[in-house]
Amino acid sequence: MPIIAPSMLSADFLNLEKDIDMVNNSLADWFHLDVMDGRFVPNITFGMPIIAAMKKKAKKPFDVHLMIVEPEKYFEDFAKAGADILSVHYEVSPHLHRNLQIIKSLGMKAGVAINPSTPVRLLEDVLPNIDLVCVMSVNPGFGGQKFIDQTTHKIRTLKQMIKDQGASTLIEVDGGVTLDNAHVLIKDGADVLVAGNTVFSSADPTDTINRLKSFQK
């Protein structure tokens, strides 16, 4: 079964505790937290204080996706705030291998996110050092966007790269994940599904999470 990581960017920020409890009590595996700085992506979300406050109520791991420039300045701060998995973007990490090592040294799992226009082959030389590849299936910045179809080819290519290297890297798909395409993504090799709008805009978010969780490879 896939790992389901509801994206809290789509949660109700006036009732955040209620939505955290919902995720806690559902079959979801992780909380997915999008941190945006208004520079790397055209949006600003939340940072360490909000994550630290959420951590007091959350009972599941925090999958923190940094969509910020110079992310290495804040690794220690996010570790202290409660990040369990910390992903940086390939596009803003000229010293990616070093960043991965620092993240791991702080006790977190290290992830790399790639934009829709970034080829997965660029990760070939560091793949064994990556715990999670977050394949963006929309252009990062806003929730509720339409899934980019080319992503399925990238997932299959990445899955073969992981097999060829004998790595244990997980493939995460982030953006436009729905009940209609989830089974295809899992079949192509996705291990983790990030779902924001699909979960929190549904009439029954818990049932939607359970349905996403039920898809088999």
Contact 4, 27 (CB under 8 A): yes
Catalytic (active site) residue 37 = no
**The two structure tokens encoding residue 210:** 């359970």
Alpha-carbon span 44 to 37, nearest angstrom: 5
Phi first, then psi: what are they for 132, rounded to 5°? Answer: -150, 130
Radius of gyration of the chain (CA): 16
Catalytic residue among 19, 29, 174, 191: 174
Catalytic (active site) residue 12 = no
Nearest to 29, CA basis, from 199, 201, 151, 217: 199
Question: Beta strand 31-36 with 62-67: parallel, antiparallel or unpaired?
Answer: parallel
Residue found by looking up tokens 């919902």 in the block? 22
Sequence-ordered alpha helix ranges (H) in 106-196: 151-165, 182-188
Catalytic residue among 34, 37, 188, 191: 34
Catalytic residues: 34, 174
